[in-house]
Structure 1
Amino acid sequence: MAVTKLNASDALDLSIELLADLELERIPLSSCIMKAARLARLNGDEEHLSIFQFELSGYPHSPNGVSSDVWRLCKAAGRVRKVRPKGKDGEDDLRAELIETANIRSIVDIEENAETLKLRLSFFQPQPVNIASANPNQFVSAPMRNLRAEASIATNYRDEKATLAARRSFVYSYVLSKHFELRISSAAEDVFEAYRRRIDGFLGVLIPSELRRLDSIRDNLDSSNPEDWANAVHSCRRLLQAVADALYPPAEGTVKAGSGRAVKVGKDQYINRLVLFCESTVKSVVSSKVLCSDLQYIGERLDAVFSAVQKGSHAEIEVSEAQRFVIHTYLLVGDILDLNAEQSASPSGLEPPPLGEREIDEVLGMTAQKI
């Protein structure tokens, strides 16, 4: 399950709210677990989503115990502990080896039992008693307390409260870890968002028609079809080709590169043309070599994927690999357009006016989409 930008934003807000609920004990633990289940769903965390569902309903079991999958979830939730088996007298058998057992009761059941025990325990508290007798020689005693029953109820109540505290700690640890993950992710998204807007401004001036391709890339990455992932990679290749056509138009014959080697600059040699453009623009030799090396690397990978797609082996492209292609391509295009903006000193250069979200929407011709 992919985590969209909207889901990440909702999840961050939910984690902040849920941490306050747990720290201040504003709502029952069962309600906190419902929110934790939603947090897991927004993050695409299927395992913890199942755990929180079982925390509420109880872990499924049969007379023979629990299945291996449920046992694994019990361990992940901290529900498994080692105990000594009971002897014939009902006491722990100190000579026996420890065995693992899981508490499969639901949080709702534990909460309700704890409240019942608390109420029962209150009945044992000393109450004001007014005892009188008409016989002056008769001594009337206060009602006797059942100390054994009282002690048993108190012990069970402490055990239930300890179980709830452990469950609260488990949920809190999960929410806190997700909160920090989402904060880091949100910071990275904010940095990339600012970068994306700037590069979209350059693309809107240089190749406005290609901005629609970015939206197509986003839609393909959101798909669950491997063919669409391959199409996203292919769109990256076409985007680089469009940038190359605008900055270094194709030509017949060859051109001598900085290394002294003659290279072709035809329609299909878009990487060669971008390399030549960077070599002629970058002032630093080191920066030029780094950027050209990145171009050669991403270009060869894109061409390899394109060839594989043409041969019908596009199913080998994983979504994570397609995402890396998109990110690398976008950053690479940004570096190239930054160079072009630095080179362009005249008003007709590519340095765009400050574009707001509305202006970018007009270039796209649709609601602004984020990759």
Structure 2
Amino acid sequence: MDDIELSRLQAEQLILKASRLARLAGSDEVRTWLRFEMTGYNSTDPISLKYMGVTDRWTDYEKKEGYYGPLAQQESTIATYTGQLASMRTPDVAGDYANLAITNVTNSMSAISKTVSRLAGIRSKVLGQLHSFVSEVFYEKQFETLAESIFERWQNGIDVLLAEHCGPVLEKIPSVMSRLAEGDPESVSQALTTCRRIIDSFADSIFPPSEETIELGGNQISLGPGKYQNRINAFVALRTSSSTRRQRIRQNLSNLYERVSTGVHADVTAEEAQSLFLNTYLLLGEVLQLKAADG
């Protein structure tokens, strides 16, 4: 990005570096386009035709006429024509042919200037495409690194808490991951059933069932053996004074529990099942962090 933005390298060098980046990033279309920028375009390849338009190379699209040369050739032409313009002067002549000579030189300068302007536009389009591609890869990788770092720190903390307070829950996680990796409907259903059991086991671990009740949201809530969500919500309510956080966790738990309980039906894809498992994992971690914060 700095090489492009600060004009530190010639266009040919930029294309070579970007081509290597495209290979590392698995961007096949960009690699093909950059190959045309290195060797020249053609009038048959779909990607060549696409980027002839993207880089504004057409002079007559219907006749397939345009600037097919590689970017290095366009830059060389720009340099040559710019040198010619610098050396051109209006002739100091008089007589019958003065006007004709001046007109010819003026027309030549105008034509060359127009060509230079057009080629400079192509160069600008190419560099713009290069910058867009490099920026996309850069920010994508930066986000991946950030997301991995955040999740890794979160995971390390959650695993410690799960192992400390409800080890049996942690032992079931590899089973879920294995079934999700298989991806077939039966495995997905089994994985979601395990997710529900993890939530149930989690509730028993952090808030064992009792005959008592608790007031939540103005209602008396049972804390009996089958009231898993009630007991998790009671645990949360006793450890945070934030009503909005309690409400968010309660709603998330309700939606999650309802969805993993439909695992016996064939309407949950493997992708959604993975999302539901991750949501389960993150939710349990947040709830346990409340206990950690509480001491």
TM-score, structure 1 as length reference = 0.53
1:260 aligned onto 2:217: no
Alignment of 1:37-56 (within 5 A): 37-38=22-23, 40-41=25-26, 49-56=28-35
**Structure 1 position 31, deviation (Å):** 0.7
User: Which of 128, 145, 152 pairs up with 1:193?
Assistant: 152
Residue 292 of structure 1 aligns with which residue? Answer: 250
- Report the residue type matching 2:30 in the other structure: I
- Contact kept, 8 Å, 2:240 with 2:290, in 1: the verdict is no
Residue 329 of structure 1 aligns with which residue? Answer: 280
1:20 aligned onto 2:20: no
Task: Provide closer, same or farther for how the CA distance between residues 166 and 187 of structure 1 changes in structure 2, counting only shifts above 3 A.
Answer: same
Deviations 1:172-226 (A, max 9, x none): 12322443454455444433333322222211212345445555666777x5946
1:307 aligned onto 2:264: yes
- Report the residue type matching 1:299 in the other structure: Y
Could you tell me how far apart the structure 1 residues matched to 2:163 and 2:232 are?
19
Residue 111 of structure 1 aligns with which residue? Answer: 72
Residue 92 of structure 2 aligns with which residue? Answer: none
- Contact kept, 8 Å, 1:80 with 1:100, in 2: the verdict is no
Task: Provide closer, same or farther for how the CA distance between residues 117 and 21 of structure 1 changes in structure 2, counting only shifts above 3 A.
Answer: closer
Could you tell me how far apart the structure 1 residues matched to 2:213 and 2:283 are?
23
SS at match of 1:337: helix
- Contact kept, 8 Å, 2:222 with 2:230, in 1: the verdict is no
Could you tell me how far apart the structure 1 residues matched to 2:229 and 2:256 are?
9
Unaligned runs of 5+ in 1: 1-18, 42-47, 86-97, 127-146, 345-371
Could you tell me how far apart the structure 1 residues matched to 2:236 and 2:163 are?
21
Alignment of 1:106-185 (within 5 A): 109-112=70-73, 114-115=75-76, 159-160=118-119, 162-185=121-144
SS at match of 1:197: helix
Task: Provide closer, same or farther for how the CA distance between residues 341 and 82 of structure 1 changes in structure 2, counting only shifts above 3 A.
Answer: same
Work out the percentage of aligned pairs sharing the same amino acid.
20
User: Which of 263, 269, 275 pairs up with 1:317?
Assistant: 269
Could you tell me how far apart the structure 2 residues matched to 1:179 and 1:274 are?
42
- Contact kept, 8 Å, 2:78 with 2:120, in 1: the verdict is no
1:340 aligned onto 2:291: yes
Task: Provide closer, same or farther for how the CA distance between residues 285 and 124 of structure 1 changes in structure 2, counting only shifts above 3 A.
Answer: closer
Alignment of 1:203-218 (within 5 A): 203-208=162-167, 210-211=169-170, 213-214=172-173
- Aligned pairs, number: 266
Deviations 1:100-128 (A, max 9, x none): 9796847xx332564488689989999xx
- Contact kept, 8 Å, 1:117 with 1:157, in 2: the verdict is yes
Could you tell me how far apart the structure 1 residues matched to 2:208 and 2:63 are?
71
TM-score, structure 2 as length reference = 0.64
Could you tell me how far apart the structure 2 residues matched to 1:189 and 1:273 are?
32
Could you tell me how far apart the structure 2 residues matched to 1:229 and 1:103 are?
55
Could you tell me how far apart the structure 2 residues matched to 1:300 and 1:203 are?
23
- Report the residue type matching 1:341 in the other structure: A
Q: Which has the higher helix share?
A: 2
Residue 15 of structure 2 aligns with which residue? Answer: 30
Could you tell me how far apart the structure 2 residues matched to 1:234 and 1:78 are?
51
Could you tell me how far apart the structure 1 residues matched to 2:111 and 2:147 are?
55
- Report the residue type matching 1:317 in the other structure: T
User: Which of 34, 44, 54 pairs up with 1:78?
Assistant: 54
1:275 aligned onto 2:233: yes
**Structure 1 position 249, deviation (Å):** 4.0
Task: Provide closer, same or farther for how the CA distance between residues 212 and 182 of structure 1 changes in structure 2, counting only shifts above 3 A.
Answer: farther
Could you tell me how far apart the structure 2 residues matched to 1:231 and 1:115 are?
65
